[in-house]
Amino acid sequence: MYKIATIGGDGIGPEIVAEGKKVLEAAGERFNFGINWTDFDIGADRYLASGKLLTEDDLSELSRFRAIYFGAIGDERVKPGVLEKGILLSLRFHFDLYVNLRPIKLLNGVETPLTGKGPADIDFVVVRENTEDFYVGIGSRFKKHQNIELSVARELYNIKFGLDVESDAEEIAYQIGVVTREGSRRVQEYAFDLARQRKKKLTSVDKANVLSDVYGLWRDVFTETKKKYPDVTTEFTFVDAITMWFVKNPEWFDVVVTPNMFGDIITDLGAMIQGGLGLAPGGNINPQGTSMFEPIHGSAPKYRNLDVANPIATIWAGSLLLDHIGEHTAAAAVVIAIEKSIRDGIVTKDLGGNAGTARAGSYIAECVRTGM
């Protein structure tokens, strides 16, 4: 029996997670495992009613689960950034989910906007560092003078900055990006190990030509790490160039490892070349601990409860979850079932079908259950 926590969250989140649960339960029936679900009401409604984003209690309870199945957060009644930082990023940091795994794979039957490219050309994985870089949340916006202490607390290390800033600009803002040797090494090693299980090719992304301190360190660590993996072919690309190559020659890529912020940007591009945000899953992984699986899209509040949201990204994230807990056959069966639903046209409007969210999800669940 696997213990899995669910956080439906906001907007379409609860509906799509409901479909994901159907599919994973069906996988359990077919492959003989059970899942014990516990739902958490973390999200905008609770925040608006009680002021609570993520409490100590939430965190200590969540830590008892193998995995968290996450829908989406973001709500028009809450200032942008509050829920994203207070819930999603806090979960990534608290559980030290240092790998953000984002497969970019064009499924059979899905159209890509890239002319002349097909499923054989678009099949790679982005490994996004998920705890450092410009996401650490240290920065400030002020006028004239400021003396401030900023800190980053992680399982791996603690960092404190004491900054005294004098400025005669009308107003200034700054944001500090943090890259560490150990933080870079662990995610790069994960990417090398993954490349070893695939086509043994790893591309590293940075902008070391301009942001030469933070990404210079990233690059140095990569140069060192690759010595341990002589069987893996490697290359460096600058982030601006990789956006061009994703469009021009996606078939070059196998595994791509990237610092956090560039990973955020290039995976939205990746989602588009694999057919749209409705099809893009992500895993936030701590190989030793509680990990979290989610669609990479947001909460799309205007589609809430209309039965129109595409559940595939979330269902696919469920497949990543199954992989993570060791149910590899079931994980593969889920992706096969998603492809079957696409082939049979039982899909939502964004993919040209007329099925609602629940019908699309149930169909995939049925395909998983029966192995058709």
Number of C-beta neighbours around residue 79 at 10 A: 7
What is the number of other CB atoms lying within 10 angstroms of the CB of residue 76? 11
Measured from the CB atom, is 264 or 294 closer to Mg ion? 264
Q: Which is nearer to Mg ion, 45 or 268 (CB)?
A: 268
CB 294 within 8 A of CB 317: yes
Q: Which of residues 237-266 bind ligand IPM (CB under 6 A)?
A: 264
75 touches 10 (CB < 8 A): yes
CB-CB contact of 6 with 21 (8 Å) = yes
User: By three-state DSSP, how is residue 303 classified?
Assistant: helix
Catalytic residue (choose from 39, 45, 220, 268): 268
CB nearer to Mg ion: give 43 or 295.
Answer: 295
240 is catalytic: yes
- Distance of closest approach, residue 130 Cβ to ligand IPM, in angstroms: 8
Q: How far apart are CA 288 and CA 283, in angstroms?
A: 14
**What part of residues 225-264 is at the interface with Mg ion (CB under 5 A)?**
264
Give the separation between CA 326 and CA 320, rounded to whole angstroms.
Answer: 10
53 touching ligand IPM, by CB under 6 A: no
264 is catalytic: yes
For ligand IPM, how many residues bind (rule: CB under 6 A)?
Answer: 5
Q: Which of 88, 257, 313, 368: binder of ligand IPM (CB under 6 A)? A: 88
Query: 291: part of which helix (H) or strand (E)?
Result: strand 291-295
**Choosing from 135, 190, 229, 363, which is the catalytic residue?**
135
CB of 96 closer than 8 Å to CB of 34: no
Catalytic residue among 75, 254, 264, 323: 264
* Residue 84 interacts with ligand IPM (CB under 6 A): yes or no: yes
Residue 52 among the catalytic residues: no
For residues 26-44, one letter each, b for 16 or more C-beta atoms within 10 angstroms of the residue's C-beta and e for the rest, the string is: bbbeebebebeeeebebbb
Candidate ranges 83-91, 187-195, 203-211, 330-338; the one touching ligand IPM (CB under 6 A) = 83-91
For residue 243 the two structure tokens come to: 């956006």
DSSP 204: E
Q: How far is the CB of 361 from Mg ion (least distance, A)?
A: 23
Select the span of 3-11, 84-92, 148-156, 168-176 touching ligand IPM (CB under 6 A): 84-92
Rounded-to-integer distance, Cα 242 and Cα 167, Å: 36
Q: Give 217 or 265: the residue with its C-beta nearer to Mg ion.
A: 265
Instruction: State in angstroms the smallest separation of the CB of 199 from ligand IPM.
Output: 25
Partners of 280 in beta bridges: none
Residue closest to ligand IPM (Cβ)? 84
Q: Which is nearer to ligand IPM, 130 or 362 (CB)?
A: 130
The distance of closest approach from Cβ of residue 276 to ligand IPM in the complex, given in angstroms and rounded to an integer, is: 15
Give the position of tokens 């993996």.
229
Query: Which residues are annotated as catalytic?
Result: 135, 207, 240, 264, 268
Positions that interact with Mg ion (CB under 5 A)? 264
Positions that interact with ligand IPM (CB under 6 A)? 84, 88-89, 264, 296
